[in-house]
Amino acid sequence: MAFKIKKFYGSPLHSSSPDRPFTAGDTKRKEDKLIKTGKQLEGEMSDRKRNRKENKLLKTADQLERNASGDKTPFLQHGPPHPKGPKKPVQKWSKEKCDAKRKELKKVLAKDPYAEFGSILKEQIAKHC
């Protein structure tokens, strides 16, 4: 089983530090890497390996274009590109309202234990009480 550094706590991949600009040697090394990866893609390989090589090629090309290290390629990022932000706090109901909803739920389930309205009430009680 491969170690996934992207999920590792304190990973440099999740740091907010600025990307290091390339020196002339870094640029030459990345250009050679780009050529080598492109040649490797011409050969036969499994779909999984081909996908990894294509992602590597895109990342290296992006780094050369920006002339800086780091992974800023938006199509290779894991998860949503723009998080929705923190969850809004749920307004809690008063004790009286919670008791009334529980009583209503009890009546609904007594009539029909599989009622859709009963499951809706259960969700509301779980969320607001």
User: What does the pLDDT look like over 78-105, one tens digit per residue?
Assistant: 555 556 666 677 788 889 998 998 998 8
Percent of the chain residues past pLDDT 70, beyond the cut: 73
The residue extents of the domains of the chain are 20-76, 95-128
d(CA 119, CA 33): 57
CB of 118 within 8 A of CB of 105? yes
Q: Cβ contacts of residue 20 below 8 Å, gap of 6+? A: 68, 69, 70
- pLDDT higher than 80, residue 59: yes
Q: Are 64 and 34 in contact, with CB atoms under 8 Å apart?
A: yes
Predicted local confidence at residue 80, as pLDDT: 55
Model confidence, pTM: 0.45
